[in-house]
Amino acid sequence: MNWNPPKRNGETKPMIAIIDYDAGNIKSVENALLALGIDNTVTSDPEVIRAADRVILPGVGAFGDAMGKLAERNLIGVIREVSQTKPFLGICLGLQLLFESSEEAPGVSGLSLLPGKIVRIPEGGGRKIPHIGWNDLHFPKESKLFRDVPGESYVYFVHSYYLQAGDPADVAATTEYGATIHAAVEHGNLCACQFHPEKSGDVGMQILKNFAAF
């Protein structure tokens, strides 16, 4: 899939802004998009984020630390703004931050863009935490994000906490790991994955293509 970015004021501008807030995992997202021929820029500049046509919020690490870094870089307001008007994709920790709260950081508010909470994967049953590895997806509804992705496709997870969405209608994919994990959401132009599409082979590449076509 090749991408011809639009020209504004005679200059070519990237289509997708990847938000940089010092939470890791950015290079792999950037490289996956470039492999698909999709222009992008890594930025923490609110004006660049506003000018982009699509936005990705990646991330690995701790919920509380990440919210602190977003605040330090004055990114909370612009994320809330663009998530209402542009195609927006959260990845891994970037999914968790879109919700109201996390057991990982009691008392720290998330972005609250969608109703729901982040809870710890339950112990027991021989499960290893963090959950690291490949799990299959199940799709409770049709969604743009998973167009042309077969049911029970495998994707790559790295996480100790997972989403319990407040509205079942937002859930676009689930997986099982000691609980029914809401592995992806889609609500209008806003979508997110707990897993890493950029590390999930051809399936993940198809998901990123789908997002680029929103």
Is residue 204 assigned to a domain?
yes
Burial group, residue 130, by CB count within 10 angstroms (0-12, 13-18, 19+): exposed
The pLDDT value recorded for residue 14 is: 55
Model confidence over 27-40: pLDDT tens digits? 999 999 999 999 99
Catalytic, 92? Answer: yes
Model confidence over 158-188: pLDDT tens digits? 999 999 999 999 999 999 999 999 999 999 9
Residues 6+ apart with CB under 8 A from 109: 67, 100, 101
How far, in Å, CA of 107 to CA of 151, rounded? 37
Structural domain of residue 177, as residue ranges? Answer: 7-212
Is residue 2 assigned to a domain?
no
Are 174 and 181 contacting, i.e. CB atoms less than 8 angstroms apart?
Answer: yes
Is residue 1 assigned to a domain?
no
Model confidence over 123-140: pLDDT tens digits? 998 899 999 999 999 999
CATH number, domain of 54, equals: 3.40.50.880
Among 30, 104, 186, 198, the one annotated catalytic = 198
Is residue 156 assigned to a domain?
yes
Among 92, 131, 187, 191, the one annotated catalytic = 92
Is residue 70 assigned to a domain?
yes
State the chain's mean pLDDT as an integer. Answer: 93
Is residue 143 assigned to a domain?
yes
Instruction: Tell me: pLDDT of 1 over 50.
Output: no
The pLDDT value recorded for residue 197 is: 98
Catalytic, 187? Answer: no
Q: Tokens for 210?
A: 């789908």
* pTM more than 0.85: yes
Is residue 92 assigned to a domain?
yes
> What is the rounded end-to-end Cα distance, in angstroms, of the chain?
14
Catalytic, 198? Answer: yes
Instruction: Tell me: pLDDT of 11 over 70.
Output: no
Instruction: Specify the number of domains making up the chain.
Output: 1
